[in-house]
Structure 1
Amino acid sequence: MINILEFFSLDTLDTRLTNNNNKNQLKSSSTPRWNTIEFKFYYLIFIIVVPLMFKTAMDASNETNPNYPRFQHLLSNGWLFGRKVDNSDSQYSFFRNNFKMLIILLISHTSIRKLTTNIFTKRTYFDFIFGIIFLFAIHGVNCIKLSIHLIINYAIGRITNYKIAIWLTWIYGISTLFLNDWYGNFSLGFLDNSFKGIIIRWDVFYNFTLLRMISFNLDYIERKRNLENMDKVESLIDLSDRERLIAPLPIEEYSIFNYISYLFYVPLFIAGPIITFNDYIYQSNYQQCKTVTNYNRIFIYFLRFLFCILTMEFILHYMYVVAVSKTKAWNNDTPFQISMLGMFNLNIIWLKLLIPWRLFRLWSLIDGIDPPENMIRCMDNNYSALAFWRAWHRSFNRWVIRYIYIPMGGSGTGKTRLLNSLLVFSFVAIWHDIELKLLMWGWLIVIFLIPELSAKLYFKKFEKDWWFRYVCGLGAVINIWMMMIANLIGFCLGTDGILILLNDLFKTMQGFQFLIISSGCLFVASQVMFELRENERRKGIDVRC
Structure 2
Amino acid sequence: MQPLHATTKLRYGRNCDNGLLRKLLCFYKCVMYSNKFEVIICYLFWIGSVFYGIYGVYNVKKEFKYIDDIYNDFENGWWDKSSKKDVSDFEWQTMLSIFKQLYPWLILHMIVSEFIRSTDVRVLPYWHCIIGTAFITNTMGIIGLLLVIAQPVFFYCISKLNKKYYIWICNLICLVLILYFKSLCNSKNYYVMKYSEMQHYIIMLTISWVNLRCLSFSIDNLSKTKLLHLLSYCFYLPTLCIGPFIQFQHLKRSYAAHAIDLPKRTFKLLISFIRFGFWLLFIEFCLHFVYVSALSYQIQLVRNLSSSALYGYGYCMGQLFHLKYVVFYGLSTSIAKFEDVKAPATPKCIGRIHLYSDMWKHFDAGLYQFLLNYIYFPTVGNFTILRRLFSSMLCFSFVYIWHGIEYHILTWAFVNYLGICVEQMIKSLSTLSFIQCLQEGWKQRLLCAVYSPLLAISAISNFYFFAGTDIGNIFVERIFQSKYFPLKRIRD
Contact 2:214 2:234 in 1 (8 A): yes
Distance 2:193 2:170 in 1: 30
- The 1:116–1:341 alpha-carbon spacing in structure 2 relative to 1, beyond 3 Å, is same
Q: Is the 8 A contact 1:425 1:446 kept in 2?
A: yes
State how 1:96-495 maps to structure 2 within 5 Å: 96-118=96-118, 120-122=120-122, 123-142=124-143, 143-160=145-162, 162-182=163-183, 199=199, 202-221=203-222, 224=223, 251=224, 254-285=225-256, 294-328=265-299, 329-375=301-347, 377-409=348-380, 412-461=383-432, 462-463=435-436, 465-466=438-439, 467-492=442-467, 494-495=468-469
Q: Which whole-Å CA distance do the structure 2 matches of 1:186 and 1:509 have between them?
A: 49
> Structure 1, residues 84-112: CA drift from partner, whole Å, max 9, x if none?
11110111111224544333333232223
Distance 2:397 2:365 in 1: 17
TM value normalised by structure 2: 0.80
Q: 1:508 to 1:266 in 2, by over 3 A?
A: closer
**Closer, same or farther: CA 500–259 of 1 in aligned 2, 3 Å:** closer
Question: What amino acid is the match of 1:105?
Answer: W
1:125-177 deviation line (CA, Å, top 9, x unaligned): 221222222221122111223333332211001114x2443443333343333
**Cα deviation code 1:213-272 (max 9, x no counterpart):** 111110111xx3xxxxxxxxxxxxxxxxxxxxxxxxxx4xx3111111111011110121
- Give the letter aligned to residue 331 of structure 2: L
Asked whether the equivalents of residues 250 and 341 of structure 2 are also in contact (C-alpha less than 8 Å), the reply is no
Distance 1:335-1:366 versus aligned 2 partners, 3 A rule:
same
d(CA) in 1 for partners of 2:477, 2:232: 53
Q: Distance in 1 between matches of 2:292 and 2:51?
A: 17
Flag the 1:33–1:448 CA change in 2: closer, same or farther, 3 A.
Answer: farther
Q: How many residues align?
A: 443
- Computed over aligned residues only, the root mean square deviation of the Cα atoms, in angstroms, reads 3.4
| One-letter amino acid matched to 1:74 | D
The two structures have a TM-score, normalised by structure 1, of 0.73
> Any residues of structure 2 matched to 1:70-85 within 5 Å, and which?
73-79=72-78, 83-85=83-85
Contact 1:131 1:265 in 2 (8 A): yes
Alpha-carbon distance in structure 2 between the residues aligned to 1:314 and 1:149? 40
Residues 420-429 or 433-442, more deviating: 433-442
- Note the alpha carbon deviations across 1:388-437, whole angstroms, 9 max, x for none: 11111110111111111111116812221111111101111110113232
- Which deviates more, 336-345 or 206-215? 336-345
Q: Which amino acid aligns with 1:157?
A: S
1:458 is displaced (CA, Å) by: 0.8
> Matches of 1:464 and 1:326 in 2, distance apart?
51
Provide closer, same or farther for how the CA distance between residues 152 and 278 of structure 1 changes in structure 2, counting only shifts above 3 A.
Answer: same
Output the CA distance in 2 between the equivalents of 1:509 and 1:67: 33
Q: Which residue identity does 1:454 align to in structure 2?
A: M
Quick one: structure 1 residues 220 and 54, their matched pair in 2 at CA, closer, same or farther if it must change by over 3 Å?
same
* C-alpha separation in 1, matches of 2:339 and 2:156: 27
On the 8 A contact 1:67/1:331 being kept in 2, the answer is no
Q: Give the AA of the match of 1:278.
A: Q
Deviation at 1:327, TM superposition (A): 2.3
Distance (Å, rounded) in 1 between the aligned partners of 2:121 and 2:428: 54
SS of the residue corresponding to residue 475 of structure 2 reads helix
**1:78 to 1:463, Cα distance in 2 relative to 1, 3 A:** farther
Cα distance, 1:378 vs structure 2 = 0.1
Residues 71 and 327, structure 1, Cα contact 8 Å, conserved in 2: no
Shift of 1:68: 5.1
Alignment check: 8 A CA contact 1:156 1:168 kept: no
1 CA distance for matches of 2:455 and 2:259? 40
Cα 1:102–1:457 change in 2 (3 A) is: same
Per-residue deviation, residues 49-97 of structure 1 (Å, max 9, x unmatched): 343222112113x12x378526685111121576311110111111224
In proportion to residue count, which structure has more helix? 2
Alignment check: 8 A CA contact 1:86 1:320 kept: yes
Q: What is the match of residue 481 of structure 2?
A: 507
User: Tell me, which stretches of 5 or more residues in structure 2 are unaligned?
Assistant: 1-31, 487-492
Question: Is there any run of 5+ residues in structure 1 with no aligned partner, and where?
Answer: 1-31, 225-250, 513-545
Are 1:69 and 2:40 matched, yes or no?
A: no
Give 1:479 shift. Answer: 1.7
- Give the letter aligned to residue 458 of structure 2: M
Return the alpha-carbon distance in structure 2 between the equivalents of residues 289 and 207 of structure 1: 34
Counterpart in the other structure of 2:23: none
- For residue 452 of structure 1, what is the amino acid of its counterpart? E
SS at match of 1:159: coil
Deviates more, 1:45-54 or 1:316-325: 45-54
Q: 1:42 to 1:438 in 2, by over 3 A?
A: closer
Superposed displacement of residue 212, structure 1: 0.7
Q: Deviations over 1:349-380 (max 9, x none)?
A: 222222111111122223442321241x1011
1:78–1:317 CA contact under 8 A, matched in 2 = yes
- Distance in structure 1 (CA, Å) of the matches to 2:96 and 2:164: 44
Return closer, same or farther for 1:70/1:449 CA change in 2, 3 Å cut-off: farther
Separation in 2 of the partners of 1:74 and 1:430?
30
1:290 CA drift (Å) = 9.4
Q: Measure the CA separation in 2 of the matches of 1:458 and 1:129.
A: 55
Letter in 1 for 2:155: N
Q: Classify 1:496/1:95 alpha carbon distance in 2 versus 1 (closer, same or farther; 3 Å).
A: closer
Task: Measure the CA separation in 1 of the matches of 2:199 and 2:151.
Answer: 18
| Higher mean C-alpha displacement, 400-409 vs 170-179 | 170-179
Cα shift at 1:508: 4.6
Cα distance in structure 2, aligned partners of 1:275 and 1:267: 11
